[in-house]
Amino acid sequence: MEAYDIIKGLLFLLVAIIGIPGNLAITGSLSWITCSIFKLLPVELIIWNLSLANTILVITRGLPAALFMLFGTRVNSDAGCRIIIYLSRISRGMAFCLTCVLSCVQCVTLIPPSSKWAHIKHSVPKYTLPVTFSLWLLYMIMEIVGLIFSSSQTNSSNPELVYNYGYCVVIVPSIIVFYVYGFLLFSRDLVVVSVMTLASSYILFILFRHRKQVNDIRNSNQNSDVEIRAAKTVVSLVTMYVLFFGVENTIWLYQIAVSKIIHPMISDVRHFFSICYTVFFPISIIVSNKKIQNVFKCLRRRSTHNGTVSSFP
């Protein structure tokens, strides 16, 4: 086994070790809150879906890559590869889009009461669940290409148009499909990044340039400090997202516009950056979200109490 494969495998394994339990902890905590009070705030509902998407992404993209690079484990059936690639594409797109929705919702939450757009705040709780569900459905339809082009074996006459992940391969049938699909995917991601960047810029504008507006929010809403802290977290998440997926999409644009072939090492780097966000997301949320921290404290107290009781029958 080459040193490059070992380092690459260990990096993917590290992402899986941190990303899977971290995102599952957020999903479980918010599910616990839902069962306790039967209600989630719009931002919390988006975070729940985002942590779910991140979990699926790491399981279907990071973990298989680590297992293949370190142990040679591969998917032996076309059906298995199609399911893994399909789910990874859906979860990747949802993580991308939900981060954008999260920034937009947080942006709307910080609209000052004196603004003519303040009435939009009342519509957010009503439409958050339908929008989230619609996005899942939309990406399930859009990513059907993952079911068509995925395979467990390389059986293409043109190896330059094959994404070989090791555990599975994606075979692009022609150079025309490569260009069309590549630019469509890049254009879609560019639009989403632009929207979330604008929303985050507005949040920063509210927080750092218009102190009076922030004070107005505090005076009109008891939960304003929570909202402002959440807004800062969202800006941090968007910054990380733009960084990681900016690198990924830059590599993607290079592949479709400059190199015009699929280099394995460049694809590996792009593949890795596409899942880096799944590590930093749960860390940021757990550190900043008091509700999730309280769930952990509650579970820890219960565990300690049960241990004490069992020690003295």
Higher pLDDT, 12 or 270: 12
Q: What residues form DSSP beta bridges with 127? A: none
Instruction: Tell me yes or no: is domain 3-300 CATH 1.20.1070.10.
Output: yes
Name the strands in the sheet holding 150-151, side by side, starting at the edge strand that comes first in the sequence.
150-151, 169-171, 162-164
Mean per-residue pLDDT, 29-50: 88
Own/partner pairs for 195-198, CB < 8 Å, 24+ apart?
195/100, 195/103, 195/104, 196/99, 196/100, 196/103, 196/104, 196/238, 196/241, 196/242, 197/238, 197/242
Cα 159 to the chain's mean position, in Å? Answer: 30
- pLDDT (0 to 100) of residue 156: 57
Check whether 309 has a pLDDT greater than 50.
no
Own/partner pairs for 126-134, CB < 8 Å, 24+ apart?
128/42, 128/45, 128/46, 129/45, 131/101, 132/45, 132/46, 132/49, 132/98, 132/101
Looking at the whole model, is its pTM more than 0.95? no
CB–CB of 63/16 below 8 Å? yes
Q: What is the pLDDT of residues 87-109, one digit of tens each?
A: 999 999 999 899 999 999 888 88
CB–CB of 44/142 below 8 Å? no
For the chain, give every domain's residue range.
Answer: 3-300
Sign of the C-alpha dihedral computed for residues 192, 195, 201 and 202 taken in this order: negative
Cα 28 to the chain's mean position, in Å? Answer: 17
Check whether 184 has a pLDDT greater than 80.
yes
Check whether 112 has a pLDDT greater than 80.
no
Per the rule left: phi > 0, alpha: psi between -120 and 50, beta: everything else, 166 is left
Higher pLDDT, 65 or 303: 65
Q: What is the pLDDT of residues 276-295, one digit of tens each?
A: 989 999 998 998 888 888 88
